[in-house]
Structure 1
C-alpha cells in the first residue's frame, strides 16, 4: 500500500492527514496556533512556532498511521492564499500575516483607484485586496522598509512550510497567481507589474514559479528528524487551499460551483477564460491545465461563528470540553429551536472585514429584550449564509445553469447549516466524503507528482465520492429569499457609515 500526506495550513488550524491509495484517511493530526493582533486590523502568527506546530502535526500523523515512513511516498501542501510570509537569512524576517489582515486597506484602494489600475488589471485580471501580497508589500515599503531589506524570500504559507521541509525555495503558481504579482496571460512574473506598483526592488526576492504537481525537493535529514517522515520523501508544490478543496470536490468541469465556508467565504467555478469585465472579484490559475479559477470571496464566513462562541460562550465551550461534548452541536440545537420565519434579527458577518468594504464592521440588527441566545445564534448562521449568497449571485450571472453546489469547510459539520445553504441558494448542495478537503487535495497532488496517477483529473475521478446531499425545501427557500433581500438592504444602508 502506498500512502500520501497532505498538509493544510488554514486561517485557524494546521492539519496533517495521511491518505491511502484508495483515498481513505488513515491518520490525521491538527494543531492550532495563537493569533497575534498587535494593532486593530493586524492578524499575524509566529512563523517559527508555525513550523514547529506543522512538524508536530506531521509527526503525530505518521505515528498514528502506524506504517513505515518509507511507505509515505509523497507530501504536498495547501494553505490559505493571500497574506504574506517573509523569510530572512536563516530566520523569519517578520511574523506571518494572515488573509484576515486589513492594515493595507488604503494601499489596495489606491491601487484600484490609481492611474495604473487599468494597466494592472489587463495583466492580473484582479482587483487589489488589502490582504494580498501586493498591498502588504507596499505597506512594508512605506512603514517598515527594514523588514524588506532583510527579506530573502517572499512566500505564501504553504510555500514557507515546504521550504522548511526541503530547504528549496519555490512559489507555486495557483497561489501566487492570486497575489496580483503574476501576469495571468503569460503565467509568469512581469517586470512591468512591479514597476507599476513601485515594487521593482522585490524582484529578486520572488521564488521561482512551479506548477502544482511539480516536485519541489525532498525532505531533508533535519526535517525528517522533526516530522517523522523518511529522509528523501518527495515534496510536490501543492496548491492554494481553494484549489485544493475544489479538486478534492472533483471540480474538473463547468457543471458545479464550489463553496468553501471556513475562515473565508470562498465561492468559485472554473472556466476556460478569465472573467475580465470586472464583475467578479478574482481570477487565478487553476491546478488543472487550461482552466482558470473564477472567485468571489471575503473574510466573512464560519470564522464569525468561531469568534462569537469564543467571545460570548467561552465558559460553555469549556464545560462541553470537560464533559466530552461538542459545543458546536449546541449551536445547531439553538438554531433549530427557532424557525426562520420567527426571527428578524440580522447579523452582518464582518468581524474580519466585508465583501463590500475593508473598513466595515460586524453588527447585529433588530435585537430586543425578547430575543434569546437561540435568536442570536440563528442570526450568525443566516448572516454568514447570506453573505455567501451575495457572492454566489455574481457567479451565477456568468454560470446560470450549474448542476449543483459542492460545499466544504466548517459548515459541513452542521446538517442545519448545510440545509440552510441549499434553501438560501435554491440549489442542490453536495458534501464530499472526505472532510479535510484541503489536505485531501494536497494528497491528490502528491499522488500525481509521485506517479500514482497521470493527472489531477484522473486522481479526482478515481478517489472523490459524494457522501450526502441537501435539496432545497420550497417553503424555507421563500422565507429565506425575503430575509436575504432585507439583509442586502441593511448592508447597503450601512455602507456610507464605513466611509
Structure 2
C-alpha cells in the first residue's frame, strides 16, 4: 500500500495525517507550539517552532503507524493564512511571524484604502483588513525599518515550512491571494499594488499552484524526521481552501460551514464573475484555475472555548455543549453576539466586542451555552444573507470542525440556515484536503472530484425543521440589531480599557 501525508499547520498546533490510496486515515499525530502576545492586539510565533512541530508530529506518525518511509509517495500542506515571515538574503528569519489574528495594523489598512480605494478591490478582490499580509509588511516597514531593510523576501507559514523541508523557496497561489498583493484574475503578483506602496517586486517569491510538485524531501530533513528523500512535496493550500477540498466542496451549489477558532462560510467559485464588492473574501483556490469566496466570523469556536474556560473549566466538553439541549430555541430570551475579538464579516470592525442580550434571573448556565451556540450560527447566517443577496442559493452546507461534533449544534445549523447540513463519515478538515492535494499531484486521480468520490463519505444529513426555522428567523432579526446598537458603547469601553492599561 502507498500513502500520502497531509500536514495541517494550524495556529496552536500542527496535525499530520497518513492517508492510504483508499482515503483511509491510517495514522495521525500532532504537536503543539506556543503563541506570543507581547502587547495587546499582537499575535506572533517563532517559525522554527512550526518546523520542530512538524518533525515531532511526523516522528510520532512513524512510531504509531509502522509504515515504511519508502511507501510514502507524497506530502502536501494546509496552512494558517496571512502570517508574515520575513527572510533575509540567506533565507534566515528576521523577526517573529506576525499572525492572521494580529490586529496592530488598523492604521496601515486604512492607508491602503485611502491610497488605492476601489482600484485595490478591483485587483485583489478583497478589502485590506488587519489580518492580511500587506498591512503587516507596511507596519514592519514603518515601525521596524532596520529589519525591513534586511528583508529579501517574505513567505507565509506553510510555505516557510515547505522551504525548510525541501530547500526550495516559493509561495502557493491560494495562500498568496490572502496577502492582498496578488492580481486574482491574472494569478500573478500585482506590480500596481507593489508600486503604490514602494515595495520591490523582488520581495515577492515565485508563485506555484497547489498541485505543483515543488521538490523532494531534503537529505537534512529526511535525517531529522525519518521521511525518505524520494517523497514528492507539493505546494499545498490555504487552510480554508484545503478545508473545502477535504469537505468535498467542489460544486457551486454547495457551501462549507467550518467552526474552528474562527468560523467560515465558504463557497466554490468556478470563475471570477461573482463580485461581492469586498463584503466577502474572494481568493484563488487550491483547485487549479478555480476560486473560492468566504465570509469569516473571527471568534466562532473561540467564543465557546472562552466561555467554557471562564465559566465551566471543570466540565467535560461533551457535557458542556450537551447541556444546551436542556434549554430552548432562543435560550429563554437570551442572545449572544460572538464579537469578542472584533469581527470581520459582515462587519469589518476591530473594535466591536461581544454581548449577551436579555440576561434574566431565571436563566441557567445551560441557557448561556445555548445562546453561544446559536449566536455563532447567527453570525454565519449573516454571511449567508450576503450570498443570497448576490443570487447564490446553496442546496446544502457541509459542516466541519467543532460544529460537526455535536448532533444538537448540527441541527441548530440546519434550522438557522434553513438548509440541509451534512456531517461527514470521517471529518479531517484541512489535513484531508492537504492529503488530497498530494494524491492528485501524484496522479492517483485525474482531478479532485475523482479523489473526493474515493476519499469522502457522508455520515448523516440534517434537515431543517420548519417550525424551528420560523422561530430562528424571528430571533435572527433581533440578533441583527445588536451590532448597530452596541458598536458605539463597546468601542468606548475598549478605548477606556486601553487608556487604563499599565
State the TM bucket, normalised to the shorter chain. Answer: over 0.9
Aligned partner of residue 270 in structure 1, secondary structure:
strand
Q: Distance in 1 between matches of 2:191 and 2:272?
A: 23
Is 1:297 the equivalent of 2:296?
yes
Q: Distance in 1 between matches of 2:417 and 2:459?
A: 20
1:324 aligns with none
**How big is the shift at 1:312?**
3.3
Q: Is the 8 A contact 1:275 1:294 kept in 2?
A: no
**How big is the shift at 1:78?**
0.3
Q: Which runs of 5+ in 2 are unaligned?
A: 493-502
Residue in structure 2 matching 1:260, options 234, 253, 258 = 258
Q: Distance in 2 between matches of 1:260 and 1:167?
A: 33
2:220 aligns with 222
**How big is the shift at 1:342?**
4.5
Aligned 1:108-123 pairs, distance under 5 A: 108-112=109-113, 114-123=114-123
Aligned partner of residue 394 in structure 2, secondary structure:
coil
Residue in structure 2 matching 1:396, options 369, 385, 388 = 388
**How big is the shift at 1:90?**
5.2
**How big is the shift at 1:69?**
0.8
Change (3 A) 1:468 1:227: farther
Q: Which 10-residue stretch deviates more, 172-181 or 227-236?
A: 227-236
Q: Which runs of 5+ in 1 are unaligned?
A: 318-326
Aligned 1:284-433 pairs, distance under 5 A: 284-314=283-313, 316=314, 327-355=316-344, 356=347, 357-433=349-425
Q: Is the 8 A contact 1:102 1:130 kept in 2?
A: yes
**How big is the shift at 1:239?**
0.6
Q: Distance in 2 between matches of 1:298 and 1:148?
A: 32
Q: Distance in 2 between matches of 1:305 and 1:247?
A: 26
Aligned 1:442-453 pairs, distance under 5 A: 442-453=434-445
Q: Is the 8 A contact 1:274 1:283 kept in 2?
A: no
2:94 aligns with 93
Q: Which 10-residue stretch deviates more, 154-163 or 336-345?
A: 336-345
TM-score w.r.t. length of structure 2: 0.92
**How big is the shift at 1:358?**
1.4
Q: Distance in 2 between matches of 1:351 and 1:32?
A: 24
Change (3 A) 1:151 1:344: farther
Number of matched pairs: 486
Q: Distance in 2 between matches of 1:277 and 1:205?
A: 30
Q: Distance in 1 between matches of 2:333 and 2:434?
A: 42
Q: Which 10-residue stretch deviates more, 402-411 or 343-352?
A: 343-352
Residue by residue over 1:197-216, the C-alpha shift from the partner in whole angstroms, topping out at 9 and shown as x without a partner, is: x1414x32221000000011
Q: Distance in 2 between matches of 1:311 and 1:44?
A: 24
* Superposition RMSD in Å: 1.8
Aligned partner of residue 179 in structure 2, secondary structure:
coil
Aligned partner of residue 398 in structure 2, secondary structure:
strand
**How big is the shift at 1:122?**
1.6
Aligned partner of residue 8 in structure 2, secondary structure:
strand
Q: Is the 8 A contact 1:220 1:232 kept in 2?
A: no
Q: Distance in 2 between matches of 1:277 and 1:450?
A: 35
Residue by residue over 1:33-56, the C-alpha shift from the partner in whole angstroms, topping out at 9 and shown as x without a partner, is: 222111111112222122211211
**How big is the shift at 1:12?**
3.1
TM-score w.r.t. length of structure 1: 0.93
Is 1:211 the equivalent of 2:200?
no
Aligned partner of residue 178 in structure 2, secondary structure:
coil
Residue in structure 2 matching 1:238, options 213, 221, 236 = 236
Aligned partner of residue 464 in structure 2, secondary structure:
coil
Q: Which 10-residue stretch deviates more, 177-186 or 270-279?
A: 270-279
Q: Distance in 2 between matches of 1:87 and 1:348?
A: 39
Q: Is the 8 A contact 1:432 1:467 kept in 2?
A: yes
Change (3 A) 1:252 1:241: same
Q: Is the 8 A contact 1:181 1:189 kept in 2?
A: yes
